[in-house]
Structure 1
Amino acid sequence: MKAPSHILQTIADGLDLIANRWTLSILQAAFQGCCRFDDFLSQTGISRATLSRRLEELTHHKILIKTPSDHPRRFLYVFSERGLELLNASLLARELEAAWSGQAPRPLKHTSCGHAFKAKLICQHCKEELHDKDITWQQLAHGRDELQELNQLQALSINGQGKRPRESAVFKNSTGDNKQSIVANIIGDRWCLLIIIANLLKVERFDDFLKLLNIAPSTLNARLKLFQEQGLMVKQQYQDNPPRFNYQLSKKGLMAGRFISELRQWILAGDEQGKAIGSQLIHKTCGASLQQQLVCGHCNETPQSEQLFSK
């Protein structure tokens, strides 16, 4: 198989850095005003060792900036300009966790319009709200083939080049009440992540997943079963003898997909070679290559972090 490109490695590294439970918790706390180590500790429930390691990673990748505080041996952690661009992904993760747990998140007030904030995704080109039925995959005559890239991306895990393990703790943690950890574990599992991306690119049949991802049938079967149990996917029979099925993302699964798409856009926007890869997801309403934009559901304005306050 062709060696993964620089861009593919960038995507994989970016997802490894951001798409995990603790980093998402730190980012959400930071957007709510946390900037001191002890504040992160109390708001997120993360152990000191894990928090120190995650903050070090975020400062190393210049998402947070570590600056001196009024205490000689303590520091403040504030967003860089690049880090502030993760607000949309953080808001989508917040809504995904709420949908998963069945518990409404702490209300946010959008001071720009004075109403409770609810995220809405629109097409950056035509400004129309995005609906799954209006999004399709199209192989363009130019640029890179997204499905081929996805096939190459999974090799990062198989060849041990990615940080994320092939098997996830999601199977060990999929029982009990800790549903928010299930969200992060599923997104943080390489196979689960690739199955969701493949489905967004309109791969729906078992054999097509096998061929594209080079995944073991038992592993694919286990992931698809987990997706159904957790309400991420629905299974629809299209053939009787022998029985064959389509697998499609549910409303909750599509929320996970939009979160992943937002992260992907952020990763590529910060890479000099990101423009070499074009999304093959097409917004049928306007015919443009899909670039999603998050806005306030009431006033349709793009929110800024300083405009959102917990009610």
Structure 2
Amino acid sequence: MASRGAPKTRLVPKSSLNRALNALGDRWSLLVIQEAFLGATRFEEFHERLGGARSTLSSRLQALERHGILKKKPHREDGARMSYHLSPRGADLFDSILAMWAWGVRWGVSGRRAPTVFVHETCGKPMLPEPVCGACGGALTLHSCTFTPGPGQGWERLPVQRMHRRRATGENPTIELVDLLGDRWTGLVVSTQYFGIHRFDEMQNMLGIASNILTDRLRTLELSGIFERRLYEISPPRYEYRMTKKGMDLYPHALLILAWADRWLRDKAGPEVVITHKCGAPVEPQVACGACRGRLTMQDVLLKAGKGHTIS
């Protein structure tokens, strides 16, 4: 009798974040998206900047095109070569990418070619992008927002994708920005904290994650200073995981990804959660200039990328 093989889909609680992480892919996909915002369009440009196997790059470009984040166009009039450009859906990731870069600068988390200097050309000042409430301009923090169940609550089937298990080596591994924010399981483990889930078995039940994968991600998050482990039972010793200040500062980035998914990958029934800012308005996160508080756009931010390259 033929084996049925591994399941192609998995049943998970409905989540815009789940759908977003599925569409954005993995750390290599995030690197490709980053380079697209930094001006890369041709295959050889992406490969020169990122290195790695050409087959890996090709598969990520195809996946991002399939998910509507990149679109392929003829690079020359004769159509002999193709180039990749951000679609409207992909360009709408700008706020979340800016927030990711800014978080890396604030907390000293390195990123391959990630910009470290930002200039708002409207006010002419160097600044650090800051996620804010679109209604009142106030800061978005874990403690300034509350959530209530939305009409889209329920269960859905998502494609099973290969989840790479990253193995940390030593007690102080070098963890790059994309390792933390470009890994689907890491993002989902972090998201459990926003719903008050702190214990291993609770996380495992909520996510349907294998114990070895969860152990690996928790270790990575602890070593990178995003989680801290606290003893809550002595015999046998049991621990729960709580976010540090560094970890809580990831919350605005998660809100921006959630808002992007609600715009582009929304469930017909509506959002799974409704998030409200302390000003009383539903959260519609934006990214503002840390100097003049003006709204930032792709057209008015000058970036200086890693290794001294400047992108306009």
Cα distance in structure 2, aligned partners of 1:124 and 1:132: 16
Deviations 1:122-149 (Å, cap 9, x if unpaired)? 1223321122322344x44x6245xxx5
Deviations 1:106-161 (Å, cap 9, x if unpaired)? 31222111112411111223321122322344x44x6245xxx5xx57x85xxxx3
Deviations 1:40-67 (Å, cap 9, x if unpaired)? 2222334322222222222333322222
- Aligned to 1:296, which of 289, 294, 297? 289
The residue aligned with 1:16 is 22
The residue aligned with 2:32 is 26
Q: Give 1:28 deviation, angstroms.
A: 1.8
Q: Which amino acid aligns with 1:304?
A: T
Instruction: Describe the shift of the 1:65–1:206 C-alpha distance in structure 2 as closer, same or farther (beyond 3 A).
Output: closer
Q: Does 1:56 align with 2:62?
A: yes
The residue aligned with 1:86 is 93
Question: Counterparts in 2 of 1:147-158, with a 5 A limit?
Answer: 152=155
The residue aligned with 2:132 is 122
Q: Does 1:308 align with 2:306?
A: no
Cα distance in structure 2, aligned partners of 1:225 and 1:272: 32
Contact 2:17 2:261 in 1 (8 A): yes
TM (normalized to structure 2)? 0.76
Contact 2:27 2:183 in 1 (8 A): no
Q: Which amino acid aligns with 2:100?
A: A
Q: Give 1:278 deviation, angstroms.
A: 4.3
Identity percentage of aligned residues: 26
Q: By percentage of residues, which structure has more strand?
A: 2
> Aligned pair count?
291
The SS at the match of 2:228 is strand
Q: Give 1:277 deviation, angstroms.
A: 1.4
User: Could you say what the CA RMSD is over the residues aligned between the two structures, in angstroms?
Assistant: 3.4
Instruction: Describe the shift of the 1:48–1:212 C-alpha distance in structure 2 as closer, same or farther (beyond 3 A).
Output: closer
Q: Does 1:113 align with 2:111?
A: no
The SS at the match of 1:132 is coil
Instruction: Describe the shift of the 1:306–1:214 C-alpha distance in structure 2 as closer, same or farther (beyond 3 A).
Output: closer
Contact 2:134 2:285 in 1 (8 A): yes
The residue aligned with 2:7 is none
Which ranges of structure 1 fall in alignment gaps of 5 or more residues?
none
The residue aligned with 2:160 is 162
- Aligned to 1:36, which of 23, 32, 42? 42
Q: Give 1:237 deviation, angstroms.
A: 4.5
Contact 1:279 1:289 in 2 (8 A): no
The SS at the match of 2:261 is helix
Q: Which amino acid aligns with 2:291?
A: H
Q: Which amino acid aligns with 1:294?
A: V
Q: Does 1:101 align with 2:109?
A: yes
Instruction: Describe the shift of the 1:57–1:173 C-alpha distance in structure 2 as closer, same or farther (beyond 3 A).
Output: farther
Q: Which amino acid aligns with 1:170?
A: R
Q: Give 1:231 deviation, angstroms.
A: 0.8
The SS at the match of 2:186 is helix
TM (normalized to structure 1)? 0.76
Instruction: Describe the shift of the 1:37–1:179 C-alpha distance in structure 2 as closer, same or farther (beyond 3 A).
Output: same
